[in-house]
Amino acid sequence: MKRKVCNDNPNAGLSFLYNTKAGRIILKPIVKSNMISSLTGRFLDLKISKILIKPFIKKHNINMDDYENKNYESFNDFFIRKVKKGKRIVDKKMDHLISPCDGKLTVHKISKDLVFKVKNSFYSINSVLKNKRLSSLFTNGYALVFRLSPEDFHRYVFIDDGKIMDNYKIDGLFHSVNPISYDNFKVFKENQRECTYIKTKNFSDVMYIEVGALLVGKIKNNIKKGYVKKGMEKGYFMYGGSTIIILLKDKTVKIDNDILKNSKNGFETCVKCGEKIGKKSN
């Protein structure tokens, strides 16, 4: 399977907010204010917000043939749209690691000191998880970072059969998850996020970290305890670019070579929900 490299060019608005002094002054109250996010979310739930749907589809060149044909009640109703049956095929081979979502993937090796690097920012696993016990599981493992742009399908699934052992939220800010923000802000330890610890059948201990983003990026997880199945919907993001980080233990998986090569060269790989991205280690 041939996958393409996909790097977004930041729009003028993000460039202004993150790369200029005046923009960062404006940005500060936006990312810290729950009121601004709440008001934005409320408006996008109103019927009048439907006027934004057609321009959004045109701007982002979204192929609506992939999605269910329905009369959307609001912009948020459109944003969390579902795909038609057969448009996202889940690889059912139990030794295959699948992508949990549509997105732009980079893979980062976790050091023995439990640190991984994204662009020019270093993250300790504990600063992301806020849990030393769980952090210690992932020494020398992998951090898989799936970045979802606003135009992407914003629902996500479980990557394997397993049992949810823990689920908790971490309050935080709402920075953009576009790479333009990475140089100035450690978004994965500052942004609001939800963490789910799962003991899986084929890939041992796995951590899901859903990261909310500018302006809203609300995280809606459907299942927070009990047993889960590969390909079952885990949840979705409301409006806003968002990120899913999956932590895998050392020697549990072999990531596909094209993804590793792209990541090493600083490029993101475009992936679709349910497709194979690696294989269980022998």
User: 237 and 44 in contact (C-beta within 8 Å)?
Assistant: no
- pTM, entire model: 0.83
Could you identify the residue written with the tokens 């009640």? 73
Query: How is residue 202 annotated by DSSP?
Result: S
Judge whether 149 counts as a catalytic residue. no
Catalytic residue among 37, 49, 102, 205: 102
d(Cα 41, Cα 206) in Å, to the nearest integer? 31
The DSSP-derived string for 125-176 is HHHHHS-HHHHGGGTT-EEEEEEEPTTS--EEE-SSSEEEEEEEEE--B---
Could you identify the residue written with the tokens 């749209």? 81
Q: Tens of pLDDT along the chain (282 residues)? A: 678 787 665 444 334 333 444 434 333 444 454 555 666 767 888 999 999 999 999 988 999 999 998 999 999 999 999 999 999 999 999 999 999 999 999 998 988 877 765 545 567 788 888 899 999 999 999 999 998 887 889 999 999 999 999 999 887 554 444 443 344 444 444 567 899 999 999 999 999 998 876 555 578 899 999 999 999 999 998 876 688 999 999 999 999 999 999 999 988 999 999 999 999 997
Judge whether 102 counts as a catalytic residue. yes
Catalytic residue among 37, 135, 242, 263: 242
